Amino acid sequence: MRFKTLVLGTLFIFGLLLTSGISYGYERAIEAEMADMIEEPMIVADDPNASGGQFVWAEGEPLTGGGDAGSVTFNIHIPEPGTYALWGKVLAWDGNSDSFWVNWMPMDSDENSQETGNTEFRWGVAGGSEWHWDRINHWLDGGTFDREWEIEAAGDTTLRIGVREDATMLDVIYITDNLSEDEAEVSPRDPLPEDSITPVEPQAKLATTWAALKAGR
């Protein structure tokens, strides 16, 4: 009996480890309007249907074209090495408002894509007049392919999303190490409160706080 319990217990623990190994990947969502730097004519605008009630864009009317000025920049701490994909929650009215430039450093070159026009960093945004998710791709002259970034060491990264065509709208950026191209499988999502907590040794910090509380400080 004891042996059986031990075997079952061991199997159960292995099962837990397997399950957690599969379901724990790194993922994080960031409101576009919470960018660390917003360069005009990219601006924050209100929309009750957007996550957080706001989004960013270079303001414009449908079919007006224009662009290649302004950007949003995010400082993103990546806690573990891996291969990552990005999804954007976007809205794109028409063929003149459906692209951005995307450079994620240090993996990408820090060139000004608005000047170089390097198609490696050109994101052809999926059209649609309701907010929807689109995996960030590069729209090369020979075709459009989903992008992935290999991050070799944990640390700080810089994601810059530049205006290519006015009026392309960005609500949320979703970072994941799930490289599936299937939206249902990846389930990109809006930000949750825990997304804004910087993962810097939380246990050590909590221990310090509790010790201080105990000492009545």
Distance (Å, whole) CA 28 – CA 16: 23
137 contributes a contact to Ca ion by CB under 5 A = no
Length of the chain: 217
Site string for Ca ion, 148-177 (x = CB under 5 A): -----------------------x------
Mark the segment that binds Ca ion (CB under 5 A) among 1-9, 27-35, 60-68, 180-188.
Answer: 27-35
Distance (Å, whole) CA 117 – CA 105: 17
Cβ-proximal residues to 165 (8 Å cutoff; 6+ apart), any chain: 65, 66, 67, 96, 97, 98, 99
128 contributes a contact to Ca ion by CB under 5 A = no
Residue among 26 and 93 whose Cβ is closer to Ca ion: 93
By CB under 5 A, the count of residues binding Ca ion is: 8
* DSSP bridge pairs for 174: 29, 87
Residue among 124 and 151 whose Cβ is closer to Ca ion: 124
Distance (Å, whole) CA 180 – CA 160: 23
51 contributes a contact to Ca ion by CB under 5 A = yes
> Which structure tokens are listed for 11?
């199997």
Residue among 166 and 171 whose Cβ is closer to Ca ion: 171
Positions touching Ca ion (CB under 5 A) are: 31, 50-52, 95, 98-99, 171
